[in-house]
Amino acid sequence: MRTTYMRQCQHCKKLFCRDCMTPDVATGDSTTMFCLHCASRIVSPRVIDKYAGLENHLKFRATFTNTVTLKFARIDGLIGTNLPMSAYQDPLWWSNTSSSKHTKAWLNAGWEVQDINLKEGNVTFKKVHKLPHQRKKKKQEITQPFTPVPVRPLRSKVPSKTKVSKLYARIKNLERQRNTPQPIRGLKAKKQNKNYLTNNNKP
């Protein structure tokens, strides 16, 4: 009988069987075990833009407003980390002419920084242009009239004489079985005693 031992992944702290575990892929230490999912994320981590949350939020707000005022703390929540100290101290960090990643986040979403207030810790964005919508594929126009597929007419199958005779014989047998009385299952006919009959017939 094969016994399966559960082990804990040192990264996600979940339990897995031995077949779903692998040693530390970074150091090769056999005492430190990772699950296959965590090991694949360590080997090939997903590259996610730091300011993608801010860009997606501005794209969402662009559908129903032209100006958005966000607190720095709100932006920290959108990007999943804290803004650098230069964002709290230097107004040039919020410049629309910079080619940095954080500037591209709101420029790619179609917004620009309109006002920055470092004392209150908020920034106001203004929508400058609409994002181009993705063109939908045109449906193919039908120019020729629709021609249905020719359908063969159904042929009426006539049964052969042999099948008809077998079916007629089967019906007759069923009728005979219904007309002939059949004994009830579980009940046996009582046998009359011959001596009793002979004694009763004596004068």
> Per-residue DSSP letters for 40-96?
HHHHS-----TTHHHHHHHHHHTTT-SEEEEEHHHHHHHHTSPPPHHHHH-GGGG-S
pLDDT confidence of 197, banded at 50, 70, 90? very low
What is the predicted pLDDT for the residue at 114? 93
- Condensed to tens digits (0 to 9), the pLDDT of residues 61-78 reads 988 899 999 999 999 988
Q: What percent of the chain has pLDDT over 70?
A: 74
Mean per-residue pLDDT over the chain, rounded: 78
166 has pLDDT over 70: yes
- Helix, strand, or coil (residue 100): coil
Q: Rounded to two decimals, what is the model's pTM?
A: 0.45
What is the predicted pLDDT for the residue at 189? 52
Q: Give the contacts of 102 (CB within 8 A, at least 6 positions apart).
A: 50, 51, 54, 87, 93
Whole-number Å distance between alpha carbons of 26 and 45: 13
**Domain positions in the chain:** 6-43, 52-127
